[in-house]
């Protein structure tokens, strides 16, 4: 009888082990994973300075330094579907604010066709040869004031984060990528070789007018799917391409004909109706 109970106990333990083994684990974000997150960033006074709500989640690879250290550290170890709120100090965010990075520059040092405006971001080369983004903060008849500090330098930031995708396949939780986003991700080099006119925008994800242009460009990518390429070029990923096309400010939109020759250029936010009117003039309908 004792042997029977021992045998029965072994069967129960084995059954529990089998059940436990069949239970799928919730994916957890780790270095090297491609992750997707929804987030809202706030300043100490509660002002929202950035959010992904109402758009596609932010996608990046953990451990590659694509985002500020404090944000990547917060996402590392999160489980799919998990939400958290973190506060990030300046040393783990955009660093302290530096007065030496604010300079007054004569206007005649700018490209002749560039009309400076407050808030416009320009690309320049530092003394060590690396490229950097500066923001125009003041404009006078003879000079402009530029600031190489990040707009968030010196700020303590709070982020509400929800992990909605983990892994190379990016398992999503109630989100779908838009067709326009996929179409607009075509590499510019590829677009210029496929025999269709191309509209390319050079910018970066943290640039406010670039964010405003993104849904417009994605809509155009769908609207003109069979007639024109739309390519969104991240200047951080394609610095050599950015230099080759002499992009000095972001966002910059460049139109190319079927042979890959530049036919128009525009700097800054471009309302959709005005952009479409420009395409109409070129016979792209």
Model pLDDT for residues 235-257, shown as the tens digit of each residue: 888 888 888 898 888 899 999 99
d(CA 265, CA 25): 51
Calculate mean pLDDT across residues 219-234.
Answer: 93
Task: Give the up-direction half-sphere exposure of residue 28: CA atoms within 13 A in the CB hemisphere.
Answer: 5
Read off the pTM. Answer: 0.58
> Over pLDDT 70: what percentage of the chain?
86
Q: Which residue has the higher pLDDT, 40 or 127?
A: 40
Q: Using a CB cutoff of 8 Å and minimum separation of 24, what contacts does 148-152 make?
A: 148/101, 148/102, 148/103, 149/97, 149/98, 149/101, 149/102, 150/94, 150/95, 151/49, 152/49, 152/93, 152/94
* Buried-exposed string 232-253: b where 16+ CB fall within 10 A, e elsewhere: bbbbeebeebbeebebbbbbbb
Task: Please determine, for residue 9, whether its predicted confidence score (pLDDT) is greater than 50.
Answer: no
Lowest average pLDDT, out of 181-185, 203-207, 214-218, 266-270, goes to 203-207
d(CA 93, CA 86): 12
- Per-chain mean pLDDT for the chain: 84
pLDDT at 53: 85
pLDDT tens per residue across span 113-154: 788 888 888 877 665 555 677 889 999 999 999 998 888 999
| Contact status, residue 169 vs residue 45, Cβ threshold 8 Å | no
| Contact status, residue 32 vs residue 62, Cβ threshold 8 Å | yes
Structural domains of the chain, with CATH: 34-94+154-166 (3.10.50.40), 99-129+136-147 (2.40.10), 179-281 (3.40.30.10)
């Amino acid at each position: 009888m004792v042997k029977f109970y021992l045998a029965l106990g072994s069967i129960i333990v084995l059954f529990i082990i089998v059940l436990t083994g069949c239970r799928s684990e919730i994916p957890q974000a780790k270095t090297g994973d491609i992750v997707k997150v929804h987030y809202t960033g706030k300043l100490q006074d509660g002002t929202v300075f950035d959010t992904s709500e109402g758009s596609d989640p932010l996608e990046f690879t953990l451990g590659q330094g694509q985002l500020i250290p404090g944000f990547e550290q917060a996402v590392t170890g999160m489980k799919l579907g998990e939400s958290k709120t973190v506060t990030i100090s300046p040393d783990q965010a955009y660093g302290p604010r530096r007065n030496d990075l604010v300079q007054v520059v004569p206007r005649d040092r700018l490209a002749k066709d560039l009309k400076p405006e407050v808030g416009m971001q320009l690309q320049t080369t530092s003394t060590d040869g690396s490229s950097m983004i500066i923001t125009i903060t003041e404009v006078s008849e003879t000079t402009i004031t530029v600031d190489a500090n990040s707009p968030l330098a010196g700020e303590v930031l709070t982020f509400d984060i929800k992990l909605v995708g983990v892994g190379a396949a990016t398992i999503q939780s109630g989100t779908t990528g838009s067709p326009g986003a996929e179409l607009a991700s075509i590499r510019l080099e590829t677009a210029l070789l496929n025999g269709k006119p191309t509209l390319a925008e050079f910018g970066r994800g943290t640039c406010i007018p670039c964010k405003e242009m993104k849904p417009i460009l994605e809509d155009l990518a769908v609207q003109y799917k069979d007639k024109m390429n739309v390519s969104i070029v991240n200047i951080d990923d394609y610095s050599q391409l950015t230099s080759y096309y002499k992009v000095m400010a972001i966002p910059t939109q460049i139109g190319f004909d079927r042979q890959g020759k530049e036919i128009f250029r525009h700097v800054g936010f471009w309302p959709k109706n005005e952009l479409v009117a420009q395409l109409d003039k070129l016979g792209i309908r």
